[in-house]
Amino acid sequence: MTRAAGFSWARANGVLILIALLGVLVVLRAVDIHVLDRAAFLKAAQANVGGSMVIKTRRAEITDRRGEPMATSLRAATVVAHPKQIRNPADVAAVLSPILGMEHDKLERIFSSKRSFSFVAHQVSEGTAKKINTLLRSEQLAPILKGIRMENVFKRYYPKRQIGAQILGWAGVDNQGVTGLELGLDQEFNAWIRGDQLRIDAFRAGGATAAGHTRLALLSEVLPALQASPPKVETTIDLQIQAQTERLLEQGLQKTFARRAAAIILEVKTGEIISVAHVPRIDPNTWLRASSSDRIPWTVVEAFEPGSVIKPLTVAAAMDAGVIDEETIFDTHNGKLRIADRTIRDLRPMKEASVKEILRHSSNIGTAEIARKLGQKELHAVFVRAGLGSPTGIPMPHEASGSLRRGKKGWDTVSFANISFGQGISVTPLQIARMFAALGNKGRLMVPHLIRRIEGTDGQNLYEAQPQVMSEVVTPETADKILELLAAVVEPGATGQKAAIAECPVGGKTGTGQQYVKDPETGQKGYSANAEVASFGGLLPIKDPKYAIYVVVDRPVGGMGGGTAAAPIFREISKMLIDSQGLRPCGLDQLATTTFRNLVPKPRKRLNPTTTEDKSVELSPIPDAVIVPPLLGKTVAEALQLISDQDLRPQVDGAGIVVSQTPKPGAMVDKGSSIEITCNLNAGRSHNDDYPNK
């Protein structure tokens, strides 16, 4: 065999060996990639061909006890920017400024920053989002808008608008609670309430888009995440009752010319909060338009001196201790009692009075004498068991606790007397409402509930409230006796007679507390003669109560007390509940005695100002003009009624009886004009702010 010219076996063998070595290296590398370093290379491969997307789930929905929506989340879009990717900030600002309604210079500053990410506009309208998305898909503008993106988010929406706004609160653009129940839920049930952020794997489905972004084709995990129902929070609130209560409060606010008003309705036997109504009302969808004072749920976060509405608890404590009964007679010192360096007065002087009369006529002196017979240690213990001066624990941020202001040495003699009738301590309206509920629940104080249950995304029950007794304030026998005394407070001639309802007996107690405020002129703090809180707390019906209702009116004009400002509102709320909750006949047919029957006083005959028989009102011959009526010697309530009948606006200084007025009687003024009246409690006519005008 002839060897080809230039052929070399040595060279051939070398090539073969080299090929074999290369094959071995390839095999070894394959083993390294697929076996030894498989995880690292798989991660790198996924990074090159895959990716991930963050999916935001919805925040929990909030409903009332009937399932009516109170808060929900709607899909929205947020404009974001990646400034480092933006080539010409001025051009981008010029395009987006008219669409977003934002200043060009402000947008240019955002796009020129050195940040890698910036929010541009939160939760834009659907129309704005469509316009920007169209521009991002435009072949001409997409390159200019490189670095601008639209992110899908959820926007909190409150479909009932003003109903229950203060207690509900609102959530911010970050889907987190800002105030009210929205924030309270975050603080107590955070893991169940806030929407989650789910990171889901995805793969690239092509190259870069015109806007410079990479498209991601999502895997099947996305659809279940997007379609999952949000958690649901069912509150104890009844929206129908809430709406009607707010309407009745607004009517009361117009009649009393007060700064604000509120009402709380509790279910006596369960502690469930049926309604927490505040007026003036606000819309949580546009909460920035409301004043800061109107936004807060002040029945929970503010404490004040309750006044005489606390007296039933003092009486209950003494009856429970066995030191008095309803017919025990006390010396009431003709309406004036000196204690240490202070004098306690009654606005209706009595020489002596039974316990029943002390409550009926709201005697401060009688109540102080009852407390003195009981002892301050025992009184303090009952106040504590009633939950006064302690937060209730409902999921509301910044809940006020109030204070019983008792040190290690106890109260001094003056403080002890004042505290027995509601001065010198501070409580919240919710605490007072719960106190009345305990008296109507055989003396048992229930844990108040604002949340009934919480359901998860798959419908599972995550939380459910159960009725829970917190303490026994007084014995059931004592509580039953107190109900009879509360029924007497709304009888004709008593301080709460304007709360009486013939078709369904109720009971309760009036209260008027002075506010400790800062004088705008001197800067000194002290009790104000004009800044008062008028209230009425009671039970419906008084026989086997179902609801505890507490109405509070902040700063009614002319010093109107609880019997004049709050009791009529209580009556209207009670009537609404009787009709809407089917309470008739309120057990009247089963009562063997008239103990719990309300005798409604006959209304005073009021002459129609449009008739010529009314000697106090003259008709003006000029259209849209009225003649100022004579007001001297009339009570504030009588004067306000005459002013209101003439379509005039009152400006009241002081309380009691009208001693001067401007303009003078008989003057002709335009409708809507202001009438200034000055009042004095000591103007030769007895007057009690807690008392009906007789």
Report the CATH fold assignment for 239-590. Beta-lactamase (3.40.710)
Whether the per-residue pLDDT at 547 is higher than 60: the answer is: yes
pLDDT of residue 196: 59
User: Residue 214's pLDDT is what?
Assistant: 45
What would the mean pLDDT of 622-640 be, rounded to a whole number? 78
Nearest to 549 by CA among 452, 446, 435, 473: 435
Domain 73-159 coded CATH 3.90.1310.10: yes
Q: Is the pLDDT of residue 215 over 90?
A: no
Separation of first and last alpha carbons in the chain? 145
Identify which of 506, 650, 499 has the alpha carbon closest to the alpha carbon of residue 562: 499
Model pLDDT, residue 529 = 61
Greater model confidence, 441 or 200: 441
Question: Tens of pLDDT along 448-498?
Answer: 999 999 998 878 899 999 999 999 999 999 999 999 999 999 999 999 999
Backbone angles phi, psi at 353, to 5 degrees: -155, 145
User: Are residues 692 and 644 in contact, defined by beta-carbon separation less than 8 angstroms?
Assistant: no
Q: Which two tokens stand for residue 222?
A: 């996305």
pLDDT at 535: 96
Average pLDDT, the chain: 82
**Tokens standing for 418?**
């004042």
Q: Where are the domains of the chain?
A: 73-159, 239-590, 603-694
Nearest residue to 318 via CA among 268, 384, 377: 377
pLDDT band at 45, cuts 50/70/90? low
- Residue 123's pLDDT is what? 81
Global pTM? Answer: 0.77
pLDDT top residue among 429 and 136: 429
Q: What does DSSP assign to residue 33?
A: I
Q: Measured on CA atoms in the order 311, 313, 314, 316, is the torsion positive or negative?
A: positive
Domain 603-694 has CATH 3.30.10.20: yes
- pLDDT band, residue 667 (cuts 50/70/90): confident
Q: How confident is the model at residue 31 (pLDDT cuts 50, 70, 90)?
A: low
pLDDT over 80 at 256, yes or no:
yes
CB 363, CB 351: distance < 8 Å: no
Please list, in sequence order, all residues whose beta carbon lies within 8 angstroms of the beta carbon of residue 450, skipping any fewer than 6 positions away.
Answer: 167, 181, 235, 236, 237, 273, 394, 395, 396
* Cis amide linkage into residue 541, ω under 30° from 0: yes
Query: Given pLDDT bands bounded at 50, 70 and 90, which one contains residue 627?
Result: confident
DSSP tag of 666: T
Q: Find the radius of gyration of the CA atoms of the chain.
A: 36
Percent of the chain beyond pLDDT 70? 80
Question: Other C-beta atoms within 10 Å of 108: how many?
Answer: 18
- What would the mean pLDDT of 505-518 be, rounded to a whole number? 84
Hey, how many other C-beta atoms are within 10 angstroms of the C-beta on 277? 29
CB 650 within 8 A of CB 556: no
The 10s digit of each residue's pLDDT in 169-190 is: 988 877 788 899 999 999 998 8
